[in-house]
Amino acid sequence: MEGEYKAADDPARCVEACRDEILAEFESALLTAGNAAFTASQARHQALLTAQYILEDVAATLRAGKVQVSNLYKHHAREVGNARAAGGVHPAASLEAGSLFFGTAVAHLARRIAADFDSPAEVLALAVTGMEESLSRRVREASESYHGFLLNQVHQAQEDERRRIARELHDRIGHGISVAHQQLALSEVYHATDPARALAKIAIVQQAVQEIMENLRQITSELHPAASVGSLEKSLLAFLETVDEDRICIGLDVNGDESWAEPRCIDEAFLIIREAARNALTHAEAAALFIRVDIAPHALIASVQDDGRGFDPASAREHGGVGLASMRERATLLGGRVAISSEPRGGCLVELFIPLKRQSDGPDGG
């Protein structure tokens, strides 16, 4: 009989005999559970591939009569951990997938071994021990890789933020200090020969110091992300109230329901829009500035347009223009993008697009 052949000559064949059934039922279980390892195609492929590798380890264990785990498990498990971290698959989904596979595989192997072996308990115990060892090693390795990937992401984000802050300090604070220092030096030069001109230089110094203080306040305020801006419209209005409306005409139009966007999205959108507006107010020499925000269930779309002197966006990108890189980075982290349209003496248009995650549909949802 076929069972007698397997038991006597190749106990691993009981694994091969039910391999396809195990994989099919495992995939079905992932679907039924709504596991993230099924909804993401790459994660589903890796989950099924991991299941195949574990079954191969179980077969090798039965052949050898002792636990056997392929030396290649680390490489594949690291790929799984990195991919799931990059794809946003939570570790809980991986643990659930492992549990579903273990239960499915043990049930099928128990039935097969009981039919093929005279002493099924010992064979099943060895198969389960090999499966548990293979699975647990892969889970540990994937978990370490997952957390390592996230730590690298955090480190990169910190490096990016340090570079952004360095740019802000150099372009805003450093420039102001340089201006103040130069004007103080000129004031000393004119102090004896032209007191009126010396006083004018002191007035410029005072103005530069005030700008430095304001820029420093704005920079430090961005270092406190824990406090949500709350209402985007109210926050933008509060920011615009600090602007001297005698020198520029400002318009603000916010449409849609802000509850469609997550608080983090609202926070980041505010910082991007504020930076775009602040750049226009500081550098554009514009007579008019208009901000528009449209919030729909699928996206937050905003624009900041001025009629100022404009600039060459390519040149600004190449030389690290003030705040432009920061705006792009913030949008990218949300899966969005920032587009800048401008030309010398032609004003500037900054457009922001952030896709919004649809709220989970309830029982009656569409």
> Domain ranges in the chain?
2-155, 227-366
- In a 3-state reduction of DSSP, which class is residue 320? coil
Query: Which pLDDT value is given to residue 245?
Result: 67
Nearest Cα to Cα of residue 304 among 337, 251, 351, 341: 351
CA distance 79 to 69: 17
Task: Determine contact, residues 212/173, Cβ cutoff 8 Å.
Answer: yes
Average pLDDT of the residues of the chain: 84
Query: Which pLDDT value is given to residue 266?
Result: 92
What's the CATH number of domain 227-366, 3.30.565.10, 3.30.465.10, 3.30.420.10, 2.60.40.1930?
Answer: 3.30.565.10
Query: Which pLDDT value is given to residue 230?
Result: 67
The dihedrals phi and psi of 70, each to the nearest 5 degrees, come to -55, 140
CA distance 331 to 350: 12
CA distance 143 to 121: 32
For the segment 70-85, what is each residue's pLDDT rounded down to a tens digit?
Answer: 988 889 888 988 888 8
For the segment 92-147, what is each residue's pLDDT rounded down to a tens digit?
Answer: 888 899 999 999 999 999 999 988 888 889 999 999 999 999 999 999 998 888 88
Query: Which pLDDT value is given to residue 321?
Result: 53
Q: How far is Cα of residue 90 from the mean position of the Cα atoms in its chain? A: 14
Which residues does the chain have with pLDDT short of 70?
A: 1-9, 222-230, 244-245, 314-323, 358-366
Query: Which pLDDT value is given to residue 366?
Result: 39
